[in-house]
Chain A
């Protein structure tokens, strides 16, 4: 049964209006504008685009222009191998990093969920705390560790494992490490929440019925924590696909992730329609899987 939408009283409307109007002005209108400019043509002007349609010109002018809708920026997006490759690289690196992060986060979350009840808040607090320290600085720390004369290479050389430094910085491997490290707290938290909420008696029942610990884990614990794993993976994957700082600082000049391409189009090439079209395609790419998962769940 669907409850009918209620009409709010004047006081309540005023309370709702403040955050609502803020979001319309600073989130919904801007998004609409990105869409509009993605349909424009780029130009050497200030601002660097020629509007395809302008609401000030009256309906007939808008309809006239709508016929010649500028899909140039989108055509350019698909014609330009740089953009296509950037989307693929972003999805692949973010996907790989998310898979690794889930593999690392799961044992940590499980260990915390199975700890003494009084210790749990402290341990989960410690696991999540790095998320509240500067993102930029945590990425920067890895430059120090991974560069040729960095701590990782010097340690390996001191141990006699390698003779010459491994070039890790400025590769996709460094970007993957950086993403796993930066987003790990985001993945641990939902998995922990799912594991902590599990009823202990289910595992006891499995054990009473003769299941080995591994079998209990595979048939009871793991399936029951699937929602936490999916939530953690999505929380990391979505921002990681559009990541700019990590590929820019840890990647090489050939690590072209979509966030970086958009940044360059915006600040260096000054092709705002292309960057806007890139943003719209990125949103479509990311909203697609979320809607699909929501549908499957309900």
Chain B
């Protein structure tokens, strides 16, 4: 690849990926009610957004669901990663691996539908906790991939040394392996958090009245047409996601520097 072709491919590729997002952000500061006609700079839609109580309540629900499901998912993922990396071939491993990673590629609609059927069959009222359980299942595979990759590169001899000095296997893992795994654990948490915050389909199937998430709220408004207020909500969501991603990149970069 010549230097010119390389630069052209990168420029065109990044333009395609980022231009639509940039447009959305720019037009969220549009004074005009007509989304695609520029009427001057204004932050009025952010004001309208902050006065929209339904939107704020949904945002709060989404953040709570994301925080909880990501925490559950990360803990279970750490256990799953340890089992896959350290336990060798145990009985039922194939089924475990299949169930763990299938949700990564499975259409979300199938997962959402199947969970709804279980909640209905068990007569569980759908609401906040059913969405948390559904999102934990959905993000578990992603979180396990992130932690397992790091766990595979750890030097086992450090833990063995701790055990030779009298530590139990669990203590050796907690004091030697876990600190080294922290960036991967943080990454897994952030990944699960973002996946939950972003999900529309699974939440639509598993939530009940009073637990409408932000994507569900945005979706029902988007179906009625584009609006500057949705652009403002999108921009805030993008800013939030970028901050999380940026913090994560910074942490892993600092780790790499040391």
Residues of B71-114 contacting chain A, CB below 8 A: 75-77, 79-80, 82-83, 87-93, 95-96, 99-100, 102-103, 105-111, 113-114
Residues of A266-297 contacting chain B, CB below 8 A: 266, 272, 275-276, 279, 282-283, 286
Q: Are B117 and A16 in contact (CB under 8 A)?
A: no
B165 to chain A, nearest CB (A): 20
With a CB–CB cut-off of 8 A, which chain A residues contact B35? 144
Q: Are B14 and A126 in contact (CB under 8 A)?
A: yes
Q: Are A136 and B200 in contact (CB under 8 A)?
A: yes
CA distance A11 to B83 in the complex (A): 11
Residues of A213-239 contacting chain B, CB below 8 A: 234-235, 238-239
With a CB–CB cut-off of 8 A, which chain B residues contact A249? 222-223
Number of chain B interface residues as a range: 35 or more
Q: Is B149 an interface residue (CB 8 A)?
A: no
Most buried by A among B20, B111, B133: B20
Q: Are B117 and A23 in contact (CB under 8 A)?
A: no
Q: Is A242 an interface residue (CB 8 A)?
A: yes
Q: Are B108 and A279 in contact (CB under 8 A)?
A: no
CA distance A175 to B198 in the complex (A): 20
With a CB–CB cut-off of 8 A, which chain A residues contact B218? 136-137, 140
Nearest chain-A residue to B115 (Cβ)?
A: A30
Q: Is A194 an interface residue (CB 8 A)?
A: no
Nearest chain-A residue to B242 (Cβ)?
A: A133
With a CB–CB cut-off of 8 A, which chain A residues contact B230? 140
Q: Are B79 and A34 in contact (CB under 8 A)?
A: no
Q: Is A56 an interface residue (CB 8 A)?
A: no
Q: Are A137 and B237 in contact (CB under 8 A)?
A: yes
With a CB–CB cut-off of 8 A, which chain B residues contact A211? none
**Binding site of B, secondary structure by majority: helix, strand, loop or mixed?**
helix
Q: Is B58 an interface residue (CB 8 A)?
A: no
CA distance A4 to B89 in the complex (A): 7
Q: Is A72 an interface residue (CB 8 A)?
A: no
Number of chain A interface residues as a range: 35 or more
Q: Is B219 an interface residue (CB 8 A)?
A: yes
Q: Are A282 and B1 in contact (CB under 8 A)?
A: no
Residues of B160-219 contacting chain A, CB below 8 A: 169-170, 191, 194, 197-198, 200-201, 205, 215, 218-219
CA distance A239 to B140 in the complex (A): 17
Q: Are A30 and B108 in contact (CB under 8 A)?
A: no
Q: Is A71 an interface residue (CB 8 A)?
A: no
CA distance A104 to B140 in the complex (A): 30
Interface window among B5-13, B43-51, B151-159: B5-13
CA distance A60 to B88 in the complex (A): 42
1/0 per residue, CB under 8 A from B, across A1-18: the answer is 001111110011001101
Q: Are B117 and A34 in contact (CB under 8 A)?
A: yes
Q: Is A143 an interface residue (CB 8 A)?
A: yes
12 A-B contact pairs sorted by A residue (CB < 8 Å): A8-B87, A23-B137, A104-B13, A107-B9, A115-B10, A129-B242, A140-B230, A181-B16, A184-B17, A239-B108, A244-B108, A279-B114
Q: When A and B form their complex, which 8 residue pairs have the shortest distance between CB atoms, in order from nearest?
A: A242-B107, A30-B114, A108-B13, A141-B20, A107-B9, A19-B80, A23-B99, A111-B9
Interface residues of A (CB under 8 A from B): 3-8, 11-12, 15-16, 18-20, 22-24, 26-31, 33-34, 37, 47, 104, 107-108, 110-112, 114-115, 123, 125-127, 129-130, 132-138, 140-145, 147, 149-151, 154, 181, 184-185, 234-235, 238-239, 241-245, 248-249, 259, 262-263, 266, 272, 275-276, 279, 282-283, 286
Q: Can you name 4 extra interface pairs (CB under 8 A) apart from A12-B87, A134-B237?
A: A26-B137, A141-B20, A242-B110, A245-B219
